[in-house]
Amino acid sequence: MQYLEMRKGRVEIIPMIDIMLFLLVFFVMVTIHMIPAQGIPSHLPGSTTAQTLPPPKLMLTLHGDGSLELDGQPLTLAQLTARLRGRSAKTQITIASDKGADVQQLVKVMDACRKAGITAVGLAAKRH
């Protein structure tokens, strides 16, 4: 009598791991490109001497019509001073002013920051 050996089927795990890693990388890359960049569209003034600033703790946007936004929330100059008053003097603020914004309004915004005790104020500009 001859005994027939029954061989169990094997599931090869190495190709499955390769496929799973490929799918993981694919979904991570797709997800990264799906996340919209945070920001408010504006026409920044240009500068040939613009330098890279460290990432600000707060981003303040001054629109051409004189309106203000702090991290996407609209506010007035008085509200800006009140919100900044409790922060450290080393808090870094970058003002992204629209190219058509009034210079006097920009000075008022900088004065409001100084009244609150903030001295690290930067201006955003596009490099030419």
Domains plus CATH for the chain? 46-127 (3.30.420.270)
User: What pTM was computed for the model?
Assistant: 0.56
Q: Which residue bears the tokens 């003097």? A: 89
- Position with higher pLDDT, 96 vs 25: 25
What is the chain's Cα-based Rg? Answer: 27
Averaged over 18-23, what is the pLDDT? 92
Q: For the segment 46-63, what is each residue's pLDDT rounded down to a tens digit?
A: 666 666 766 667 888 888
Dihedral over Cα of 56, 117, 73, 67: its sign: negative
Helix axes 77-84, 103-115, angle to 10 degrees: 30
Q: For the segment 91-118, what is each residue's pLDDT rounded down to a tens digit?
A: 888 888 887 888 888 888 888 888 888 8
